[in-house]
Structure formats: C-alpha cells, structure tokens
Copies of this chain bind each other. A is one copy, B any other.
Amino acid sequence: MCRFLAWIGDPRFIDEFVLNAGQSLVTQSRSALIGKTSLNADGFGLAWYGDRDLPCVYKDVHPAWSDENLKQIASHIKARLFLAHVRASTSTAISRNNCHPFSKGRWSFMHNGQLGGHLKLRQKLDVMIPVECYDQRYGATDSEAIFLIAVGLGLDRSPISAMEQAVGKVEMLAREAGHTPHMRFSACWSDGEKVYAARYASDRFVPSLFYRLQEDGIVVCSEPLDEDESGWIEISPGTAITTDGRTLEKVEFRPQACVVNT
C-alpha cells in the first residue's frame, strides 16, 4: 500500500502539501495514519505540469524523508497541477522504475492498492499492455501495467471509463485465477488539464481516498493532510471524480460491471 496526493488550482509550492502540512506526505512516509502500513519508505515520486506539455517526473528510491533533492525541488517548484506519491512495496523491487507516478505522453498516474496473486499474474498483465506502450513498461508493478493497459483502452478519449475497463480486466485475471483480494484500487491520474481519481475494491477493504475543496483549488489525497476534520470529504467506494480545480464531478466507477457488459 502507498500514500499519495494531487493538487490542481492556483500555483502552489509543492512543499506546502508534501513537506509542511501537519500530516504531510513526507510525514505519511514515516507514519501514515490510515491504511495497512504506516511505513511508506520504499521510494517516492513527483510529477508536475509546468512550461512544457509533458509532465516533469522526479522519482527516487530513498525514503521521502531522507532525500535532500526532494526537499529542494518540493520547496522551489510552484505548479498549478502536481501529483506526489510515497511507496510501500508489496512485492516488487525497490527501483526507480517501480516508483509512481508513471507517465506516458501527457498522462501521469499513481496508485495505492493491491492485486491478488500479482506476482503470479505478471506475465498475463504484461501481455495485456498494448505493444505500442510496451517500450514504456519500465518496471514490474501491477500499477504501471494497469496504467498502460488503460492508455491502450483509450484514456485519451474517456479518462474514467478506460481506467474502469483496465481495472475490470485486471480484476478478472485475479478472479479467474482464484487469487484474493481480486482488486483494491485507489488511484489518481491527470493529463495536465484535469485531475481524475477513483476508489474501488472487489471486497470491503477499499483503500482510502479524500479530497478538499479550497478557495484556490482542490487537493486529492489518500488521507487528510491535517486534523481539521471539517474540510476533508471521503470519496465513496465505487466512485470516480473529475476536477479542473474549481468544479468537481462524481460518477460511478464499477470495473466489473463494465467488463461484464463488454
């Protein structure tokens, strides 16, 4: 399991949320309050959208609290849209290629979740990645595979539904192979214009996901960044959100239903 956050709105320094908040992402790397593991120290990553079309991605394998470069970058980069992630490896190696966010073209993606029997299903996952995305299959995580599968299923055209289908197809693999939990999925992704996020599980242990509406934008995160309970809204299981930083829209996110329908 992992922890993440995203910001979209007026430009903000990344360190406000990643370093300075009471329960900042770096604090969560040492002691997350929600979730299976309090420790998320197997690497970290940032993706922000700035002067180029593509996101700038910075990842490393150290614990987030111990990387001086992360402190520097987070405290100097001001962006209207950024994603940040700290990793707790479930099974795959601790390597930059396995750190989130992943990116392809304008898209960036980060994930917290679990796929039953992932190590045994890896080759089947790899086969589901479209060949034209395979040169960007850098690592070995199920997260990256789900992302690239979603790209192949039309993330550009329908950002929520392509992800829903990708998750559904991958869940089906676990279901057919009898591995549990079939799917636990909390994720956030962006094309540089909007931020998308979804929360879902095939059982009742749905990874947490929250957002907060602020005057100048919207934060999405795995767990509240401070103790002010009033501001944080929990996203319901089976729900996806889309936001441009001012408005926020909710839709159903039902991967299995979606696969069954096809």
Q: How far is the CB of A69 from chain B (nearest CB, A)?
A: 5
| Interface of A, helix, strand, loop or mixed by DSSP | mixed
- In the complex, are the beta carbons of A51 and B30 less than 8 A apart? no
Q: How far is the CB of A144 from chain B (nearest CB, A)?
A: 12
Alpha-carbon separation in the docked complex, A13 to B138 (Å): 26
- In the complex, are the beta carbons of A131 and B140 less than 8 A apart? no
Interface size on A, residues (CB 8 A): 45
Q: A119-B135, A127-B123, A140-B137 are in contact. Are A63 and B60 (CB under 8 A)?
A: no
- In the complex, are the beta carbons of A93 and B89 less than 8 A apart? no
Alpha-carbon separation in the docked complex, A66 to B98 (Å): 13
Specify which of B51, B68, B93, B94 is in contact with A76 (CB 8 Å cutoff).
B51
The answer to the question of A134 belonging to the interface, with a C-beta cut-off of 8 Å to chain B, is: yes
- In the complex, are the beta carbons of A129 and B137 less than 8 A apart? no
Q: A63-B63, A73-B56, A76-B52 are in contact. Are A95 and B97 (CB under 8 A)?
A: yes
CB-CB contacts below 8 Å: A109-155 with B: 119-120, 122-123, 126-127, 129, 131, 134-135, 137-138, 140
A: residues with CB less than 8 A from B are: 13, 30, 39, 41-42, 50-52, 54, 56-63, 66, 68-69, 72-73, 75-78, 89, 93-97, 119-120, 122-123, 126-127, 129, 131, 134-135, 137-138, 140
